[in-house]
Chain A
Amino acid sequence: MDELTLWNAAPAKYEITLFNYAPRFAPTLTGKFHRAEFKEGAKWYLSNLFNVSFYQVTLIVLVIAVLVRYNVFAVGYLLLLGVCVTIPRHVFETRVFQFAVSLILMLGIMFQYALNLGVPTSKTCNNIFDKSAY
């Protein structure tokens, strides 16, 4: 039998539960909306929201990082995005990969900040080879 036939052959369960409930909730569950079970599950998901969806959050933030600029940094981020979606998930979650990417990002941010620190802004000299300005 194909998947659809098997699926339609199975009886549907009409209990109104949000999650597969723990056994301790089972005796009081049938036919009702189990508020306590719902609250417990919702609390768990909200408190672990980043842990559950970190991969998707990473991809979205990477896309935004590429979208806001049109330079070599965007090319680098796009390459990183390609690497993140291509590599197996267990490689993405290794500490080595995370550490390497964090280090590269940190260097990129420091480089951009360095451009702001102590950058000469004199308007009297437009060319470093113009010795008359010194």
Chain B
Amino acid sequence: MTDLAYAPWRVLPESWQYWLGIQLPNSYHLLVDFLLYFVFVHIYKLQPGLEKLRSSQYWQSIIECTSVIEDFARHSRYWTNSLKFNLFRYSQYFVLVIVFVFATVQADALSVGYVLFSLLYLYAGHEFFRRRDSLWQWSRYYNYFVLMARLAYQVPILEGSTLPEAWQNIVGFRKRGEATDWVVFDYMIFLLLHAQRWVRTLIPV
């Protein structure tokens, strides 16, 4: 039996090999994958003790929702309650300003959505306290759509272009390795929006 002189998938162009993940893997990618696996395996082991952990007074004092607001008419509030309340009141402005700055780093059609969200939400003001998470979820959906669209554009079928007037650059699609590929800002917006989602849970409805 003759040994294969070359792996069968080497007949594919390099761009397709990279897209399908059948090139020789980068060692840093494997490290990150292993770290992710390590995290999930430890959560799997953690689960039995979670209930005991959450009944602890320390968990309740910092992580859980603060007490119902009416209780403070009868009981003194701690500085941790004040911290949670102020975080609940002002964090949205911080997040919106940061999202606006990140969106203006790269001027393209996809970033216009973030700019619009920031400006509209800053204008809405107290409407956010009344409608809680129902407005923010639309910004998270849009952010996820942008992430998926930018990733799907990496398919080798779609040609890239470095010309500023090309439709790809106007819309905001860039191939990996292009000088203006700043997709990291989209992921930072993702983390900020989900951190804001957690902040919304600090004060009970």
Contact = CB atoms under 8 A, between A and B. Distances in A.
Answer yes or no: are A and B bound together in one complex: yes
Interface of A: 3, 6-7, 9-13, 15-17, 19-20, 22, 41, 44-45, 48, 50-52, 54, 56-75, 77-78, 82, 85, 93-95, 98-99, 101-102, 105-106, 108-109, 112-113, 115-116, 119-120, 122, 124-128, 133-134
B132 interface: no
A51 B46 contact: yes
B36 A126 contact: no
Given A78-B151, A102-B40, 20 more contacts: A9-B73, A19-B61, A45-B62, A48-B53, A59-B191, A66-B147, A67-B183, A68-B28, A72-B19, A95-B44, A98-B47, A99-B44, A101-B40, A102-B37, A105-B36, A116-B25, A120-B5, A127-B11, A128-B10, A134-B5
B39 A58 contact: yes
Q: Is chain A's interface secondary structure helix, strand, loop, or mixed overall?
A: helix
Contact of A128 (B8, B70, B154, B191): B8
Contacts of A94: 47
A98 to B, nearest CB: 4
Contacts of A12: 76-77, 79, 82
Contact of B147 (A50, A78, A115): A78
B21 A71 contact: yes
Contacts of B56: 44
| For the complex of A and B, 4 pairs with smallest distance between CB atoms | A10-B72, A125-B5, A13-B76, A98-B44
Nearest to A15: B78
A5 B77 CA distance: 14
Contacts of A78: 147-148, 151
